[in-house]
Amino acid sequence: MNQIWGEYTGPIKGFRFKDYTNDEHDSHEHDLTKKPYYAPAEQDFIYAMQGIANRYGKLSDNDDNGIYVGYVNQKDNDAYKIGIYCSHCAHYESENVCRIIKQKIEPGGKCRLAAIPSEYVTVRKTIKSKYNQQ
């Protein structure tokens, strides 16, 4: 049975995505022992998305593959200030290229398929003291 997601095929220090449609590996090797750290579930998500892109081609909203990318440029990225943008994402390849989506991207843009380590995201939490609630 062919799998459609990526498979861990490298040494512990990194991984390569395996394309089950032609039994080749993509040319990008990622070292998971260096920062940023990707949690195990996030690593699986990265493998899965790259495997889908390898099998079906890069994704876009209008390609009838059933996956909504939802890309927005930096100007429309409402989460930019907290660190959610393309150049922080594991799928980011270069200034205008994503490993999994077709369209030209901006480093400050975002899509709904982003894999961004939590160390890059800054969310301030407001903790209400029980004394302030009285």
* Domain locations in the chain as residue ranges: 14-120
Partnered with residue 15 across adjacent β-strands are 30
pTM of the model: 0.68
Q: What is the mean pLDDT of residues 79-89?
A: 95
Phi first, then psi: give them for residue 4, nearest 5 degrees.
-105, 0
What lies within 8 Å, CB to CB, of 100 at 6+ separation is 49, 50, 52, 53, 58, 59, 91, 113
Structure confidence at residue 134 (pLDDT):
52
User: Own/partner pairs for 61-67, CB < 8 Å, 24+ apart?
Assistant: 63/102, 67/113
pLDDT in tens, 98-115: 999 999 999 999 999 999
